[in-house]
Structure 1
Amino acid sequence: MPTLKNWAARHPDKVAVRVAFTETTVTYRALDRRANSVTQLLMSMGLKSEDGVAILLENDPTYFELVWGARRNGIYYTPISTHLKPDEAAYIVRDSSAKILFVSANFPEAIAALKLDNPAGCIIIVLGERIEGTLDYRTELAKFGDYIEIPDGPVGKDFFYSSGTTGQPKGIKQPLFRNIAQAQSSGDWVRDNFKFDEESIYLSPAPLYHGAPLRFTMRTLESGGTVILMPKFAADKALAAIETYRVTHSQWVPTMFFRLLALPEDIRRGADLSSHKCAIHAAAPCPPEIKEQMISWWGPILWEYYAGSERNGATCLSTEEWLSHKGSVGRACVGKVHILDEDKGELGPREIGDVYFEGPSFVYHNDPEKTAKSRNDKGWSTIGDVGYVDEDGYLYLTDRRSHMIISGGVNIYPAEIENRLSMHPAVEDVAVFGIPNREFGEEVKAVVQLKDPSLASPAFAQTLIAFCKESISNVKCPRTVDFETEMPRQENGKLFKHVLKKRYLQSASAA
């Protein structure tokens, strides 16, 4: 399959990346040349294969030159959420052992946090306005105007962080690709199932610091297509982008479907979506009624897939398959699915157990215990989901082994929130869990036992939420706080969280 360099030679003036509804475009020739300069920059700073860089940047075409430049030199690249608190972002930079942080000037607090605690001497390169004590990206890149040939060798790979059950983010690391051919073939399941090719025009409405948006935009560019990048999701703009740019492919999370379906009827029905061939969704469960509404509107072009940042396996299914296997997330397209009981014995069709993949390997960075717990003696791995397969091999997810909350496609772990709330002087005990939310799939609920029960009130609930937001990203904080006079705990201190959660599930069912 052609490389970026080949595509640049084949159609140099073709638009590789376009920022929706702006004049900003990047051709294949420009992307290839700038990525080549990034590779030279990394080499000049002493980075070699297996080293890492971190990226804290808005949805900007520069993302792609940084990633392509890192890939060519066998460098791991770690995207960082722009919604993290400064200390959270700095922690990921340090824990990943990134040699360089490429960061937008719009995040001065994160830059300051890393400057305060930077034992490994990570180099900070700023995109945008100059900041004292850092390097300027444009100035550094301008030193490498000549194009050089880069020999084939290990190819860099993403190194994403996902929140851990202890509240600290955990890096998910896979072995580098041995060469370009292996790197290209890793995307065959995307091209084969979703039909990506050089005619594809892919709309990316989500942040590039998430795994799926970055990986799928890279697959588009590997295929010689065009990426339409939205700086920020807005339902009306996304719909207009499909019509304006004749989008053929797109990817969504269920929350975006809610926003699209909420648009006025005349706007929804008036949009020309005739170019749209494939709408992919993942990241969180989609309520069947919402998916049915989207199919009724867009037609049988919806594809769903299930995979984790760990990339240990994947399943997918078409609209037609979903209609005959409602609730399924598809059959394996990467690796092989196994359902195991608590003793690691394999279960039969429709027997519920832990979902394991016999597929690609990964490790949790700096956490051998968590890595070991994700394996069985055959080397199959799990990311903590529970489900079953039917007689046709379709996978159905029923629960998560951990208490992880998925809200709007974002993974949230309760421990970090519980730890924060427990620090409030008025809080005696706390439990955090997910409850159903029609739009986001789940929302974060906190149940608190106060030292002085008389303080319980809606106003004090808002005080606790604000206390959370002082040190934790807003997306992780509880949307609501309820109060209990006494938590259901065993004598040994174990909290019966399921007792609390069951009340809210029953309430939701009754509603």
Structure 2
Amino acid sequence: MGTLGFWRLAQADPGWTAAVDPDGTQHRAGDLLARANRLVHGLRELGLKPGDGICGLAPNGADGLVLYLAALQAGWYYTPINWHLTGPEIAYIVADSEAKAFFVHPRYASEGARAAEAIAPERRFLLGTGEGGAVAAFRPMAELTAGRPDTLPEGRTAGTTMHYTSGTTGKPKGVKRPLSGLDPDDAAELMSFLPGLFGITPGQPNAHLVTSPNYHTAVTQFGGTALHMGHTLVYMDKWDAEETLKLCERHRITNSHLVPTHFKRLLALPEEVRNSYDLSSLRWMIHAAAPCPIPVKWAMFEWWGECIYEYYAATEGGGTLATPEGWKSHPGTVGSAWPISELLIVDDAGEPVPTGSPGTIYMKMLGATFEYKGDPAKTAENRLKDFFTVGDIGYLDADGFLYLCDRKADMIISGGTNIYPAEIENEIMIHPKVADVAVFGVPDEEWGEQIKAVVEPAPGVAAGPELVAEILGSLEGRLARMKWPKTIDFIDEMPREPNGKLLKRKLRAPYWEGHDRAI
């Protein structure tokens, strides 16, 4: 131990460019270190102790990175919040995580202010500077950090992130891991094991392109670890295909984390645009989060060469890795188990199935323990001995390579983002003109899946465009727009069993005819 970890590296070389904001602003490692140190001193004066948590509602860039770096050297849990959420949804996470401080960027001050009642006024802070009525709910960040020392705090201990993942009830649950008690830099060095599986090397010249919102687990994991390995983080504010190519050329990007939707958009660029950028620096372009169509993957190999890696994993821990060679010899696979991870495929009775037979995928990772915060039932339900599942279906071939057949029965994956129908159904069901509702994913050429709602109108209510508009209008301010159904169809009677169980597969099947998604 002793060669990696942001805080260690920043002290050794404060002039290294550690981060580049979407607007091009460059941040030296020494400056980020000083900001993170001042924040720790300020929050300790506010009473924060190891084991406490903080929440951040911040766009991609250095502001959110400073929150992460402060928490991870002070023994705190850091929860980055999805900025597409509405005030009540944000408030739920702030309250449920028992956050002792809540940081909001001016860009999200409106919804952030609606969530502010979830935490005491003296514990709400506005990142940077901002004006406007909504900002009055927050203290300026300077009140916390001004005049505080920029020296390394005493008694440093490793913190971690606590990301929220939705449960079957539609309410998100925090995936909480025990704190390690390690020195923060030593803990950061241990994190480099995962990128090491891909062959990623530490130090300069290396640059990691952050293509997706920082509230995603994988984005935090891969971006944070790249930083701890001495790479420069280059942030995108909003993903754009040609802008990706421009940034790769300008910053000599060596590694990134992508989703198949990105590939489809990149391949849709005119050939002259695709060929006009120097992408020779690319070495480890990693993708996950949704199934990648085999022809799309082949096309990316033809364009970018042997730098495309794939993995399958979950916030909870464990996973598989497909190297370029591994995938090409087993097209369609999501890879074989990490050296510290194990896979188990079982039938409905929990018994292992033969090679090549589909079953529920269970995983475990050496030393990884977690609980769904505040939900011991969900924690227990997803376990089989010391393995866990997220409900996906797949099979292993004779070489130990995993193939996915289906995803969580009901989860919608749109553009690489997980969307949980139960939460949407709960909001639509409130509408007085709705008797019953089912929400599921249907095929979408660009996004993989789009959100479809099927509604049984209340007795005497006419189905039609007016009712669609009314239902969607009722979601305003209660449900993030990314979760709104793209289309709503109507049905006379919802197919339910006598025990009330909805036969969602019956509803979904016609929409998937002719497509390769397992029903």
Report the TM-score range of the alignment, normalised by the length of the smaller protein.
over 0.9
**Contact map agreement 1:444 1:477 (CA 8 A) in 2:** yes
User: How many Å separate the matches in 1 of 2:136 and 2:461?
Assistant: 51
Q: How does 1:65-464 map to 2 (within 5 A)?
A: 65-118=66-119, 123-127=123-127, 128-129=129-130, 131-153=135-157, 155-180=158-183, 181-199=186-204, 200-310=206-316, 312-333=317-338, 334-359=340-365, 360-376=368-384, 378-451=385-458, 455-464=462-471
Q: Confirm or deny: 8 A CA contact 2:343 2:361 kept in the other structure.
A: yes
Aligned equivalents of 2:460 and 2:304: distance in 1?
52
> Which whole-Å deviations, capped at 9, do the CAs of 1:255-306 have from their partners, x for residues lacking one?
1112212222211111111111121111111111211221121112110111
| Aligned equivalent of 1:501 | 508
The two structures have a TM-score, normalised by structure 2, of: 0.93
Deviation of 1:149 after TM superposition, in Å, equals 4.6
- After TM superposition, the structure 1 stretch with the greater mean CA deviation from structure 2, 202-211 or 419-428, is 419-428
Of 462-471 and 437-446, the range deviating more from structure 2: 462-471
Amino acid at match of 1:440: W
Residue 444 of structure 1, CA deviation: 1.0
SS at match of 2:99: coil
**Which position in structure 2 is the counterpart of 1:50?**
51
CA drift of 1:94 comes to 0.3
Alpha carbons of 1:117 and 1:38: their partners in 2 closer, same or farther (altered >3 Å)? closer
Contact 1:160 1:171 in 2 (8 A): yes
Moved more, 91-100 or 203-212: 203-212
Rounded Cα–Cα distance in structure 2 between residues aligned with 1:354 and 1:201: 37
Task: Give the 3-state SS of the residue equivalent to 2:107 in structure 1.
Answer: coil
Gapped runs of 5+ residues in structure 2? none
Partners of 2:197 and 2:503 in 1: CA distance? 46
1:223–1:117 Cα change, 3 Å: closer
Deviations 1:341-376 (A, max 9, x none): 222222231121111112211110100000010112
Distance 1:149 1:97 in 2: 24
Q: Distance in 2 between matches of 1:463 and 1:110?
A: 23
Residues 437 and 456 in structure 2, CA contact (< 8 A), matched pair in contact too: yes
- Secondary structure at the aligned position of 1:270 is classed as coil
1:408-455 CA distances to partner (integer Å, 9 max, x unpaired)? Answer: 111111111112222222222211111222221211111112235773
C-alpha distance in 2 between matches for 1:321 and 1:396: 13
What is the deviation of 1:459?
A: 4.9
Distance 1:340 1:193 in 2: 28
Relative to structure 1, the CA distance from residue 2 to residue 509 in structure 2 (aligned partners, 3 Å threshold; closer, same or farther) is closer
State the alpha-carbon separation in 2 of the partners of residues 117 and 29 from structure 1: 34
**Any idea what the Cα deviations from partners look like across 1:57-98, whole Å, max 9, x if unmatched?**
111212111111111110000000110001100110000000
Paired residues in the alignment total 505
1:202 shift after superposition: 0.7
Q: CA deviation at 1:122?
A: 7.1
Measured in 2, the distance between the counterparts of 1:69 and 1:247 equals 26
Counterpart AA for 1:11: D
CA contact (8 A) 2:415 2:447 kept: yes
The one-letter code sitting in structure 2 at the alignment partner of 1:125 is F
The offset of 1:161, in angstroms, is: 0.6
Q: Which moved more, 1:393-402 or 1:201-210?
A: 393-402
Query: 2:20 aligns to what?
Result: 18
Kindly provide the amino acid, as one letter, of the partner of residue 135 in structure 1.
R
Answer yes or no: is the 8 Å Cα contact 2:210–2:223 preserved in 1.
yes
CA RMSD, Structure 1 to Structure 2 (Å): 2.0
How far off its partner does 1:187 sit? Answer: 2.7
Structure 1 length normalisation: TM-score?
A: 0.94
CA contact 1:465–1:481 (8 Å) conserved in 2? no
Letter in 1 for 2:497: Q
Aligned partner letter, 2:146: A
Alpha carbons of 1:298 and 1:458: their partners in 2 closer, same or farther (altered >3 Å)? farther
Deviation at 1:172, TM superposition (A): 0.9
> How far apart, CA to CA, are the structure 2 residues paired with 1:81 and 1:401?
21
Among candidates 473, 477, 489, match of residue 466 of structure 1: 473
Rounded to whole Å, the distance in 2 between the matches of 1:461 and 1:267 is 40
Amino acid at match of 1:369: A
**Aligned-partner SS, 1:106:** helix
Comparing 69-78 with 35-44, which one deviates more in the overlay?
A: 35-44
**Offset, 1:404:** 1.2
Structure 1 position 500, deviation (Å): 0.9
In 2 relative to 1, CA 358–60 (structure 1 residues): closer, same or farther, beyond 3 Å? closer
Alpha-carbon shift at residue 44 of structure 1 (Å): 1.3
Percent identity over the alignment?
38
State the distance in 1 between where 2:442 and 2:49 align.
46
